[in-house]
């Protein structure tokens, strides 16, 4: 912990098997010897350029690092949700514009044409003295 940081813990004993602890904005419930973490808050400072460093623990939980991308979403309650962007073939669909005068269904034909061209190149190469 850095200079000036402190740990504040508040306990509320509800029953002999239930303990609720609030420690540095992390709510923990201990119930029948099992621990459940309800919420973890992390504080970050907004720079003069409007940038925020995502805390290390959050990056680790999200499985992101440089140069990954994340998306910020807001819900109806005004809460912000941060999620990693995972690229899939489905997510990439539509990023590259369609080839003019081609039916997107011609993909198999494009593959055949490319393979035929490659075969012609190899045959021409092997035919040279």
Confidence band for 37, pLDDT divided at 50, 70 and 90: low
- 82 backbone dihedrals φ, ψ, rounded to 5°: -110, 125
pLDDT, tens digit (0-9, with 9 covering 90-100), for 55-98: 898 888 888 998 888 888 888 878 888 888 877 666 666 677 77
Nearest to 37 by CA among 29, 45, 25: 29
CATH label, 54-96, candidates 2.10.25, 1.20.1440, 2.10.260, 1.20.140: 2.10.260
State CA 123 to chain mean position distance.
47
Distance CA 55, CA 24 (A): 15
pTM of the model: 0.42
For residue 69, give the DSSP letter.
-
Any bridge partners for residue 80, and if so which?
74
Any bridge partners for residue 14, and if so which?
none
């Amino acid at each position: 912990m850095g200079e000036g940081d402190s740990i504040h813990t508040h306990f509320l004993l509800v029953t002999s098997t239930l303990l609720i602890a609030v420690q540095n904005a992390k709510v923990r419930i201990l119930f029948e010897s099992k621990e459940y973490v309800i919420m973890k808050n992390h504080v970050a400072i907004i720079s003069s350029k409007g940038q925020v460093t995502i805390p290390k623990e959050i990056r680790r939980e999200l499985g992101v690092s440089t140069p990954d991308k994340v998306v910020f979403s807001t819900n109806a309650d005004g809460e912000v949700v941060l999620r990693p962007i995972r690229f899939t073939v489905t997510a990439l669909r539509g990023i590259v514009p369609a080839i003019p005068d081609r039916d997107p269904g011609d993909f198999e034909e494009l593959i055949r044409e490319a393979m035929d061209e490659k075969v012609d190149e190899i045959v021409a190469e092997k035919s040279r003295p």
